[in-house]
């Protein structure tokens, strides 16, 4: 055997001896010094008090297990007494400030009948379901505007991955509207995802006389600057075509505006919704100043509408 082979064998034998020594010392270090008998461990008499409920931030349904834990704790404290389950529940509610869920916290959705399909549709890509968080009666009256549909490409090392992008605006024409963005392999899929996202993002925006803005607005979003002015009845919507389509969904009839800077439709739509959300309603200003509000147009030239001071 050559000298090189002998050195290799010696190295292997040394590594095996080191491994044996390490394993034996490790077992000696990890060997338990004391043995714990689980039969000697006593049960906890009182369960820990985790917290008290907050009506704003806590969810009763998510923390139902904690409430049941508190009830068992109270039953153990009282022992075999004549207290009923209702008494224990009342004690827990009073001690931990557990509140009952209000009846109008969630929308009561219409139930499906035997002959009714689960997906009710008014258009090809407008399917109603409980996930939309809107009753079916309101869903039937929605109007949809598909404003942007374009092809996008993601560049990877393996090549190009194409997909379709869509931006849809949905509204009821009575002040509630929202926009949604969706992506998909096909344009129909992207429009469907965007439509459902727009319905979920619907929000109520204030309108003066249910026809125009409360005041002039100047809003900036990225490189787009949007200027809008409230106008008299019968003026019409003299503004960019993209915003004109949104006004039909929101229910704005009289409006003038101008776009400066970037006219990218995506940024224009987002700027318009941001501008609608930034309106200051006169009733809120009156409450903040502690004064009484009277609309002169309605008081002297139309129906009398006086906002009460709260």
Per residue in 140-170, pLDDT (tens digit) is 889 999 999 999 999 999 999 999 999 999 9
Tokens 């005041």 map to which residue? 215
**pLDDT, average across residues 223-237:** 95
| pLDDT band for position 244 (cuts 50, 70, 90) | very high
Is pLDDT of 118 > 70?
A: no
The mean of the pLDDT values for the chain is: 77
Is pLDDT of 309 > 70?
A: no
Tokens 């925006």 map to which residue? 205
Is pLDDT of 243 > 80?
A: yes
Give the pLDDT confidence score for residue 308 in this predicted structure. 43
243/270 Cα distance (integer angstroms) = 10
Is pLDDT of 38 > 90?
A: no
Give the pLDDT confidence score for residue 289 in this predicted structure. 87
Helix axes 241-250, 265-277, angle to 10 degrees: 40
Both tokens of 245, joined, read 């389509």
Give the pLDDT confidence score for residue 305 in this predicted structure. 45
Nearest to 241 by CA among 225, 223, 263, 262: 263
Report the sign of the C-alpha dihedral through residues 53, 54, 58, 59, in that order: positive
Of the chain, the percentage scoring pLDDT greater than 90 comes to 45
Give the pLDDT confidence score for residue 1 in this predicted structure. 55
Give the range with max mean pLDDT: 19-23, 73-77, 95-99, 147-151: 147-151
| pLDDT band for position 68 (cuts 50, 70, 90) | confident
Give the pLDDT confidence score for residue 51 in this predicted structure. 53
58/188 Cα distance (integer angstroms) = 39
Is pLDDT of 237 > 60?
A: yes
The pLDDT tens digits for 277-306 are: 999 998 888 888 888 888 777 777 665 444
Is pLDDT of 90 > 80?
A: yes
The pLDDT tens digits for 179-220 are: 999 999 999 999 999 999 999 999 999 999 999 999 999 999
Is pLDDT of 42 > 70?
A: no
Q: For 31-45, 93-107, 248-262, which range has the lowest pLDDT when averaged over its residues?
A: 31-45
| pLDDT band for position 135 (cuts 50, 70, 90) | confident
Give the pLDDT confidence score for residue 219 in this predicted structure. 96
Give the pLDDT confidence score for residue 3 in this predicted structure. 60
Tokens 């008081």 map to which residue? 299
Of the chain, the percentage scoring pLDDT greater than 70 comes to 66
**pLDDT, average across residues 103-113:** 44
Give the pLDDT confidence score for residue 101 in this predicted structure. 55
255/236 Cα distance (integer angstroms) = 6
- Of residues 238 and 131, which shows the higher confidence score? 238
Is pLDDT of 263 > 50?
A: yes
Give the pLDDT confidence score for residue 293 in this predicted structure. 81
DSSP tally for the chain: helices H, then strands E: 9, 12
**pLDDT, average across residues 86-101:** 76
């Amino acid at each position: 055997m050559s000298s090189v082979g002998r050195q290799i064998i010696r190295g292997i034998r040394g590594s095996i001896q080191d491994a044996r020594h390490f394993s034996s010392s490790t077992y000696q270090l990890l060997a338990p010094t004391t043995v714990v008998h689980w039969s000697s461990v006593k049960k906890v008499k009182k369960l820990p008090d985790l917290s008290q409920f907050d009506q704003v931030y806590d969810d009763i349904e998510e923390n139902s297990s904690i409430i049941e834990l508190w009830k068992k704790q109270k039953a153990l404290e009282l022992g075999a007494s004549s207290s009923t389950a209702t008494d224990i529940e009342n004690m827990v509610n009073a001690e931990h400030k557990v509140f009952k869920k209000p009846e109008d916290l969630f929308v009561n959705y219409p139930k499906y009948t035997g002959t009714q399909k689960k997906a009710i549709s008014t258009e090809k890509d407008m399917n109603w379901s409980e996930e939309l968080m809107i009753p079916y009666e309101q869903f039937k009256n929605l109007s949809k505007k598909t404003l942007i549909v374009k092809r996008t490409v993601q560049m990877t090392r393996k090549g190009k991955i194409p997909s379709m992008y869509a931006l849809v605006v949905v509204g009821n024409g009575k002040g509630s509207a929202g926009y949604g963005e969706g992506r998909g392999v096909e344009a129909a899929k992207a429009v469907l995802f965007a439509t459902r996202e727009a319905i979920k993002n619907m929000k109520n925006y204030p309108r003066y006389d249910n026809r125009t803005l409360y005041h002039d607005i100047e809003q900036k979003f990225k490189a787009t600057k949007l200027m809008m002015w409230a106008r008299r009845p019968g003026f019409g919507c003299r503004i960019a075509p993209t915003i004109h389509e949104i006004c039909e969904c929101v229910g704005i009839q009289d409006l003038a505006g101008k776009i400066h800077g970037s006219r990218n439709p995506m940024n224009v739509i987002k700027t318009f919704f941001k501008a609608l959300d930034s309106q200051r309603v006169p009733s809120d200003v009156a409450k903040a100043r502690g004064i009484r509000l009277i609309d002169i147009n309605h008081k002297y030239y139309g129906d009398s509408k006086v906002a009460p001071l709260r």
